[in-house]
Structure 1
Amino acid sequence: MARPTTHPTSRDVAQAAGVSQAAVSLVLGDKWHGRVSEPTAQRVRDAARQLGYRPNLAARNLRLGHTRTVLLVVPALTTEFFAGVYTGAARVAADHGFGVVLYPSPQGIGPARNPFASARAALDGVIASSMAADALTALHDDRLPLVMLDSDPTAGPGTTTVNLDIADGTRQIAEHLLGLGHRHFLHLAADIPSWTFDVRARELTHRLTTVPGTTLRTARAALTIDAARTATETALTTAPGTTRPTAVVCDDDQLAAGAYKAARRLGLRIPDDLSVTGLDDLALATAIDPELTTVHLDAELFGARGMHALLAVLDGREPDAGDIPVHLVVRGSTAPPQAP
């Protein structure tokens, strides 16, 4: 069969297969069952393949009122965690004929500006990771389907949430350190007003206060290694007359790396003098010495679940319920505290 010299059209396919253009549309749109015979459908598929025909998806989507494009909003592109979230979401999206546009919010956790003249015209839905619902007003005002990752499940009506079980991850850290015999703790908390960090602080406090004789101090730091170093160093050298913490619980692995630097500046050995834990299990966790005890979060699974949830919303289905399990990875940064 000779190929046409110009881009083949559905009319060319219809002529080559000896059918109507309507039949071509049904077969290539996978809506032929019960309306076109199997031999006819195969003839259409063969003609399209031999001609090199590709449907005009943009025109079809315009007619259907869909763009098959999703916006993924993240606070920043500076950590591998959000890269993993994108990878997982994009993989599921591609399997369903969708594309994902990655958009880092210029203001971090919010507010996120609308990058389009009309989000409704450009997008089918939005997935937002680790941001507050009110940070997405400019996008959600278009009444686009919205799925929130790592966000408050009570954010309000019209919002679907998908969460990692951060509360359980924090409990696993506390149980591990208490089991080693630690009773004096420093919480190196991310200085960010975010639901996920509030959960970590609340769960850590709740678990430790159930054990008699425990103490808990909190130091806050921006999510940078230098800020974490400064905050940890200050916390460990102030408050004279109090018992020095023997364990530092960090809200993420970057903060833990800063705690490592502070410990070394103060002449403290990890884990002999100070146990340190993180949360994320980034590549950084095995790059530092000793390797970091931390909670593993499956970022790609997280992104994939978020995309599945959005597809369910778009199809009018109920998304899967339940938080994604997380697990503690014990490495060399934690050990029983030395005797005073």
Structure 2
Amino acid sequence: MQTREPAGGARPTSKDVARAAGVSQATVSLVLGDKWRGRVSERTADLVRQAARDLGYRPNLAARSLRLGRTRTALLVVPALTNEFFARVYAGAARVAALHDFGVVLYPSPEGVGPARDPFASARAALDGVIASSMAAQALDAIRGTDLPLVMLDSDPADPGAAAQVNLDIADGMRQVTRHLLGLGHRRFVHLASAVPSWTFEVRARVLASALSGVPGASLSTFAAPLSVSGGREAAERALAAAGPRPTALVCDDDILAAGACKAVRRLGLRVPEDISVSGFDDLALATAVEPELTTVRLPAERVGEAGMSALLAVLSGRSPDADDLPVTLIPRSSTAPPPP
């Protein structure tokens, strides 16, 4: 799609966006007002958003009737920026926010997970709303209880304090992993489980155990690990040194743990995947940087950020946000194969 700058360097209008995207002004209004679902196709919505970005379009705030907030600022609370996934979540949230003249203040918990101080003297006065990952839930203690709307990402649907939620279909992702490994013939499983207490990791453990419970001959052991390469390596070494038949499949809660698991397998003189298959979760850049490349579940991190910001805008304007879980996809690569005979 090619876009044309407005004549004379004037500020671009919705008409300019409509012309560049090849749609009507009404369609532009629906998409940029986040009211397009069920009325406009995903492809058309993407075209409109891309045209708006290319032209540098900003809505005419005086003409809008949305009951948006006071400061036009949202706080995004994440565990840490050392994890690529959350950097991509921020990129998605900031992209949608910019289309609505909102800013996104990024606040990583200083310790990665756990309590964090209120980043403002008064969050209520400085913000219109909060978007937060469930992995940083403890960092919200200073904000919960205010009248700020809270959008939770990848969190327990039963959370009574959330005005809206954006969830990935984590359960389906773990079912896809399990079906893949069972289909290859694996029956002796180890779960390298994140030691971070979080709803998203609880779901992974619960679904994996449930999927294997009715399979004849299947066994499952669980070893907790900190979310680091060294944590994954040490947990995998413990799992492979445990008494009993050696497991043939290591199912890891994320790609970082999986990278550590691959190191452990090699240090013990074994091979991935000829002796042991390893799977991850997230599809970070790391998944294709290691050798062999990781079989993993792709999570649409930027889409999570986009949906989180859209949900907050919906709440602020009195609308009901989209409640559908975002789909995830298994990406089979060379770290999984049939077990040894």
Same fold (TM over 0.5): yes
Q: Give the partner amino acid of 2:275.
A: D
CA gap 1:132/1:81 in 2 versus in 1, 3 angstroms? closer
Residue number among 135, 138, 145 corresponding to 1:141 in the alignment: 145
**Residue in 1 aligned with 2:180?**
176
CA gap 1:328/1:265 in 2 versus in 1, 3 angstroms? same
* Residue correspondence of structure 1 range 175-194 to structure 2 within 5 A: 175-194=179-198
Say what the alpha-carbon RMSD is for the aligned residues.
1.4
Residue number among 232, 237, 244 corresponding to 2:241 in the alignment: 237
* Residue correspondence of structure 1 range 48-127 to structure 2 within 5 A: 66-127=70-131
2:251–2:278 Cα contact (<8 Å) kept: yes
Post-superposition Cα deviations, 1:110-140, rounded to whole Å, max 9, x if no partner, equal 3332111111110000000133656412112
**Residue in 2 aligned with 1:28?**
none
Compute the displacement of 1:73 (Å): 0.3
Distance in structure 1 (CA, Å) of the matches to 2:69 and 2:207: 45
Q: Give the partner amino acid of 1:154.
A: A
SS at match of 2:220: strand
Aligned residues: 275
Compute the displacement of 1:108 (Å): 3.1
Question: Is structure 2 residue 167 aligned with structure 1 residue 163?
Answer: yes
Residue number among 208, 211, 214 corresponding to 2:215 in the alignment: 211
Residue number among 251, 258, 261 corresponding to 1:259 in the alignment: 261
**Residue in 1 aligned with 2:310?**
308
Post-superposition Cα deviations, 1:162-184, rounded to whole Å, max 9, x if no partner, equal 11111100000000000000000
2:135–2:196 Cα contact (<8 Å) kept: no
Task: Give structure 1 stretches of 5+ with no counterpart.
Answer: 1-56, 58-63
Distance in structure 2 (CA, Å) of the matches to 1:270 and 1:303: 34
Compute the displacement of 1:106 (Å): 2.0
Distance in structure 1 (CA, Å) of the matches to 2:162 and 2:171: 24
**Residue in 2 aligned with 1:274?**
276
* Residue correspondence of structure 1 range 30-45 to structure 2 within 5 A: none
Distance in structure 2 (CA, Å) of the matches to 1:295 and 1:220: 20
**Identity of matched residues, %:** 68
Post-superposition Cα deviations, 1:312-335, rounded to whole Å, max 9, x if no partner, equal 000011000110000000000000
1:131–1:148 Cα contact (<8 Å) kept: no
2:135–2:197 Cα contact (<8 Å) kept: no
Question: Is structure 2 residue 200 aligned with structure 1 residue 196?
Answer: yes
Select the structure of larger CA radius of gyration: 1
Task: Give structure 2 stretches of 5+ with no counterpart.
Answer: 1-60, 62-67
Q: Give the partner amino acid of 1:276.
A: V
Compute the displacement of 1:271 (Å): 0.5
Post-superposition Cα deviations, 1:21-60, rounded to whole Å, max 9, x if no partner, equal xxxxxxxxxxxxxxxxxxxxxxxxxxxxxxxxxxxx9xxx
SS at match of 2:257: helix
Distance in structure 2 (CA, Å) of the matches to 1:268 and 1:296: 27
**Residue in 2 aligned with 1:320?**
322
Post-superposition Cα deviations, 1:185-220, rounded to whole Å, max 9, x if no partner, equal 010011111111000000000001121110001111
1:297–1:327 Cα contact (<8 Å) kept: yes
Q: Give the partner amino acid of 2:181.
A: L
Q: Give the partner amino acid of 1:73.
A: V
Compute the displacement of 1:243 (Å): 1.4
